[in-house]
Amino acid sequence: MKRFLFSLALALSFSLHAEEPLEISGIYPGLASFNKNGECGIGAVVPWAGKLWWITYPPHLTHGSNDKLYSLSPDMKTLEMAKESVGGTHADRMIHKESNQLIIGPYFIDAEGHVRAVDVKTQLIGRMTAVARHLTDPENLVYFYDMEGALYEVNVHTLEVKKLFSKPVPGWHGKGAYTAQGRLVIANNGEEPVGGIKIENLAELPPKTPEDRGVLAEYNGKDWRIIQRRQFTDVTGPGGIYGSPDDKAPLWTIGWDKRSVVLKLLDGGEWFTFRLPKGSLAFDPWHGWYTEWPRIREVNDGKFLMDMHAQFFNFPPTFSHANTAGIRPIATHLRYVPDFCAWGDKLVVASDDTSIMRNPLAGQSQSNLWFGKLDDLKTWGTLRGVGWGVGG
């Protein structure tokens, strides 16, 4: 009965012959996503093949789930759930230039909108948190990075999967991965072990400190190296969702410690560190579960937006060692924002809205997208700076 009512609601709110769908303060109720689990977040959202695509995720399912791949028409009237949906806890996305495919979760979508799904039951097992360009064969292969720490190699044509590492470096709760300057950089943001998985420790560990939690690490195709034992999330660069434009382009990664938000820059093969204010301390816990996927991403006309620790920032695409100017806070918020993007003249913000974990009054886990303008963010929370300063 619930499934029938949900389908009926979708049909009433989004059909080819419908009038303008109901919109309330940037929210379209008919776009709400549901699943049968304790959480239903929207892990990634990307415009592609004339539509807006997104995936939902449950809390911790490594072999698929009842979550869906969705697409929405530009007139906001036709919402589709892909029949190829296999679900799972995923938040990765990348546009593979050479094959002209969108990779989102375990799905490969061509320029005409045809969908293929990798086998998540027996091959690509885990919670895919990032996908990155390959170091030696970027035309045919990509890396998939799992939240538990595994690194896979997937052929973009055949979808053949090869597992490269089970867990090469310490830290837990994997987040970003990005290839630049001849290395793959990965990040995780927690220190809570999962399910008896053993760390391979393929990199020399730095001296231990009381603040060790999470990791930022790099792989050159042969050896692993620990950059820092702190909590990091997104890893990206000016090429954004398409990957690094060339071997000299900078790489950015965001994280935090007890003092502040941490922004690290890889430029000319050298790492540099910068500090920014936190908008809230609510995202601080050592396990990293309260961040979801903070991102730096292009939103329109060459403008980049950064979301980190409850605060949106204007982020300059020119940020480098030679040019560090231009990072400016926009507004604070208290919501999980796993992803955001520009779609036409709209800014689309994905959320992890309502969970039934310790919240039985909610009835069913659900999330939605917010549609607005970049300038609308200025009407959100008051600017706020929280932190201990840069000492220590």
Q: How confident is the model at residue 388 (pLDDT cuts 50, 70, 90)?
A: low
- The pLDDT tens digits of the residues spanning 152-183 come to 999 999 999 999 999 999 999 999 999 999 99
User: Which residue has better confidence, 385 or 328?
Assistant: 328
Predicted confidence (pLDDT) at residue 11 exceeds the cutoff of 90: no
**CA nearest neighbour of 40 among 294, 366, 369, 290:** 366
Q: How confident is the model at residue 18 (pLDDT cuts 50, 70, 90)?
A: low
Domains of the chain plus CATH, in order, are 40-379 (2.130.10.10)
The pLDDT assigned to 389 comes to 54
**CA nearest neighbour of 26 among 335, 307, 294, 360:** 335
Predicted confidence (pLDDT) at residue 30 exceeds the cutoff of 60: yes
Predicted confidence (pLDDT) at residue 387 exceeds the cutoff of 50: yes
Predicted confidence (pLDDT) at residue 53 exceeds the cutoff of 90: yes
- The pLDDT tens digits of the residues spanning 232-285 come to 999 999 999 999 999 999 999 999 999 999 999 999 999 999 999 999 999 999
**CA nearest neighbour of 276 among 262, 264, 266:** 262
The pLDDT assigned to 19 comes to 78
Mean pLDDT in residue range 88-102: 99
The pLDDT assigned to 9 comes to 46
Half-sphere exposure in the Cβ direction for 379 (13 Å, CA): 7
Provide the residue type at 282 as one letter: A
The pLDDT assigned to 196 comes to 83
Q: Confirm if 310 and 330 have CB atoms less than 8 A apart.
A: no
- The pLDDT tens digits of the residues spanning 273-322 come to 999 999 999 999 999 999 999 999 999 888 999 999 999 999 999 999 99
Spell out the residues 6+ positions from residue 128 whose beta carbon is closer than 8 angstroms to its own. 88, 90, 91, 92, 105, 106, 144, 145, 146, 147
The pLDDT assigned to 322 comes to 98
Predicted confidence (pLDDT) at residue 351 exceeds the cutoff of 60: yes
Q: Which residues of 354-388 are buried (b: 16+ CB within 10 A; e: fewer)?
A: bbbeeeeeeeebbbbbbbbebebbeebbeeeebbe
Predicted confidence (pLDDT) at residue 132 exceeds the cutoff of 90: yes
Predicted confidence (pLDDT) at residue 331 exceeds the cutoff of 90: yes
The pLDDT assigned to 360 comes to 83
The pLDDT assigned to 392 comes to 36
Q: How confident is the model at residue 385 (pLDDT cuts 50, 70, 90)?
A: confident
pTM of the model: 0.93
Q: How confident is the model at residue 358 (pLDDT cuts 50, 70, 90)?
A: confident
Mean pLDDT in residue range 214-234: 98
Mean pLDDT in residue range 27-53: 97
